[in-house]
Amino acid sequence: MAGGFHGADVAQLRQLAATMRSAGRMLDGQRLAFNAGVAGTPWPGPDAERFRQDWKGSHSRSMGAAALFLDQAADALLRQANEQESASSAAGGSAVSGPSGGSSGTPSPGDIAGKSAPEVRDWWVSLSDAQHQDFIRDHPGAAGNTNGIPFDARVEANRLNAQERIVWLQAKDPEPEFNPWNMDSSYPVRFAAEHEAWRERQSGLAYLQRAVDGKIQLAAYDPGEQSIVELIGSYDEHTTSVITYVPGTTTNEASFYGGGPQQLANRFVEADKSGGTAAFVYKGSEFPDGDFVEAFLVEAKSDEFVADSAPVLRAFQDAVDLELPSVAQSVGMGHSWGLRNLTGAETEGAHFDKLIALSGAAMPPGWEPDPGTDYSSFTYPDILLTAEANGVVGENYPMKEPAFEKHVYEPPGGFEWTEAYSIDNHSLIATTDPWNEKAINDVRTELRDR
């Protein structure tokens, strides 16, 4: 066709999209591996801290942006492929392809860019069932992680995202090989950190396969954004209580593989024999991580860190609220730094009917109790409570704040002064350990009381 544009090969467009998406995933996997290496290298001093801050604040984000660009380019190619296919069908298979402004019949991530959760929900409702399935198939990343898209559709999309991650882990994430000729004295430590990060990623294969098989429901899954949210139970018109459970410092994707953060949420859902309780175990953004000093004494204390994470949680809670039945209650439950994240989300406008602190960290500056929220705190004597009481971390913490109803339990070691410095006690309150049964039952009572 002289003087015109020949139609693109739809199959090749889709193959190129798949190649770009795979490249983006590979780049982001390398970024995460580098993050682990930078955090795990024992390099003290101001130069080391400056390098870590430069890496985290600039270089890592640049790699993440490049990975996102590749993913968005793949979306654009898929959109063009769909439009080409539609045009070809309309013209009897002989359509001419040129620059396109998009088709109202083919939904794309551009349709929801910058929209709030309610606006996304309105857009979703306007689509047909066939368009829903097209969007999930062609754009599983957006479908599985956009607030306002119904959670049943997000779970369906994240089965595809989990399968894609499995393929990447098996084909594009080879085991690091030790180079015995590397004479750099710090190399063995760096290699150990790199290998541990690889081992941690690979350990997720069984967990992700369970998501693919429908045995685990992922309400969000985006490794590039360090986001994973597991839905436990059925969140539908029969729900009477929905819990947003936020675990504490150093929680990462690998934490979910062994079921640690899900312990209490599973217990509360299973204990409700009516089937009316659902729970989201939430990690929708980066949590404090790195070595002990960086994680606990820097990031967990940082007002700037929680100011970055709180709007992400608030936006997720907006999506939860969109599907909340009128008779149901919303419950925020946070362990340690997770409570700090929840109360930060409150300052951003999130609302919970009940907010439950489990050895909760201090609320961020500017937080005020919501008159429409019931607050309660459950804890053992532990190292965090001692640090808070002595002004080491935080000023306004749950066991000091008058709005919280307070519950303190005897730890396994009894009320001895040494227990006030126990890290084990700090973790105990968020487990299903038999010793914690009294606290669990009291939290269940708090959940049942309306």
Q: Which residues of 164-194 are buried (b: 16+ CB within 10 A; e: fewer)?
A: bbbebbeeebeebeeeeeeeeeeeeebbebb
Q: Going residue by residue through the chain, which has 450 residues, state the pLDDT in tens, using 9 for 90 and above.
A: 444 445 567 666 776 776 777 677 667 666 766 766 666 566 666 676 678 777 666 777 777 667 767 776 777 777 676 666 666 655 554 333 333 333 357 899 999 999 999 999 999 999 999 999 999 999 999 999 999 999 999 999 999 999 999 999 999 999 999 988 987 888 898 899 899 999 999 999 999 999 999 999 999 999 999 999 999 999 999 999 999 999 999 999 999 999 999 999 999 999 999 999 999 999 999 999 888 888 888 888 899 999 999 999 999 999 999 999 999 999 999 999 999 999 999 999 999 999 999 999 999 999 999 999 999 999 999 999 999 998 888 889 999 999 999 999 999 999 999 999 999 999 999 999 999 999 999 999 999 886
pLDDT for 84 equals 67
Q: How far apart are the first and last CA of the chain?
A: 71
pLDDT for 3 equals 46
Q: In whole angstroms, how far apart are CA 331 and each of 151, 321, 351, 447?
A: 18, 11, 9, 8
Contact 52, 39 (CB under 8 A): yes
pLDDT for 92 equals 53
Tokens standing for residue 209: 């396969």
282 by DSSP, 3-state: which?
Answer: strand
Q: Is 91 exposed, middle or buried (0-12, 13-18, 19+ CB in 10 A)?
A: exposed
What whole-number distance in Å separates Cα of residue 144 and Cα of residue 190?
A: 34
Tokens standing for residue 382: 């532990």
Tokens standing for residue 375: 């607050």
pLDDT for 91 equals 56
pLDDT for 147 equals 97
Strand 241-246 relative to strand 329-335: parallel, antiparallel, unpaired? parallel
pLDDT for 5 equals 45
